[in-house]
């Protein structure tokens, strides 16, 4: 399999996207280090070859940053994980922008209220950041907690979403 890799400029810094032949995002993150992005992909999905190229996902990311928060919702992603991880990644895509959940609330959303650590692990193992918005999950006390691409990026994404949603209300 050949995948395309592309880096675009965003207000939060360079965003690199790795997409497969079917335009599904395998991984993305705020880094120019291609090896770092590829390393986020499950070994069973890692492409044999990677070429520079344009992707529909990059257009969706640009639209998101231009204020169309829903632009990322329809972008196809591809991840490999357990049944619970897959359910968690799907649940992350249902979190409304501007209305983040705590890890406890996310565990309840998954149907396992006691599985707070598992909920956090699902977020940590999420490769296509932005398109599977794990940044929308917070600690129980409302603080940001960790984020693979740095707390400043997480803070910026949440602030952007809150501002856009309040402008609509």
The tens digit of pLDDT for each residue in 34-71 reads 999 999 999 999 999 999 999 999 999 999 999 999 99
For the chain, what are the domain ranges?
2-72, 83-159
Q: Give alpha helix (H) positions in the chain.
A: 34-39, 56-65, 83-92, 103-109, 116-124, 151-168
Structure tokens at 15: 């965003």
CA distance 46 to 119: 24
Would you place residue 148 in the very low, low, confident or very high pLDDT band (cuts 50, 70, 90)? very high
How much is the pLDDT for 34?
97
Domain 2-72 class? Answer: alpha beta
Cα 95 from Cα 132, distance rounded (Å):
10
Confidence of residue 130 (pLDDT cuts 50, 70, 90): very high
Residue 95: closest CA among 125, 133, 64: 133
Quick one: pLDDT at residue 145? Answer: 85
The candidate with the shortest Cα–Cα distance to 4, out of 45, 47, 44, 60, is 47
Note the pLDDT tens digit of each residue in 156-167.
Answer: 999 999 998 888
Annotation says 134 is catalytic: yes
Average pLDDT over residues 71-86: 96
**10 Å Cβ neighbour count for 43?**
7
Q: Is the pLDDT of residue 169 over 90?
A: no
CATH architecture of 83-159: Orthogonal Bundle (1.10)
pLDDT of residue 159: 96
Active-site residue, from 4, 69, 134, 148: 134
Q: What is the pLDDT of residue 31?
A: 98
β-pair partners for 7? 16
């Amino acid at each position: 399999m050949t995948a395309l890799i592309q880096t675009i400029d965003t207000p939060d810094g360079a965003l690199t996207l790795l997409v497969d032949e079917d335009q599904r995002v395998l991984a993305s993150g705020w880094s120019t280090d291609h090896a770092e992005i590829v390393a986020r992909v499950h070994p069973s999905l890692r492409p044999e070859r990677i070429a520079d190229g344009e992707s529909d996902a990059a257009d969706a990311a640009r639209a998101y940053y231009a204020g169309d928060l829903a632009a990322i919702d329809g972008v196809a992603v591809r991840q490999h994980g357990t049944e619970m991880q897959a359910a968690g990644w799907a649940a992350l895509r249902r979190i409304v922008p501007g209305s983040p959940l705590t890890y406890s609330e996310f565990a309840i959303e998954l149907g396992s209220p006691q599985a707070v650590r598992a909920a956090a692990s699902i977020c940590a193992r999420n490769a296509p950041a932005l398109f599977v918005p794990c940044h929308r999950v917070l600690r129980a006390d409302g603080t940001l907690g960790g984020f693979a691409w740095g707390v400043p990026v997480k803070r910026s994404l949440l602030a952007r979403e809150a501002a856009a949603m309040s402008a609509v209300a």
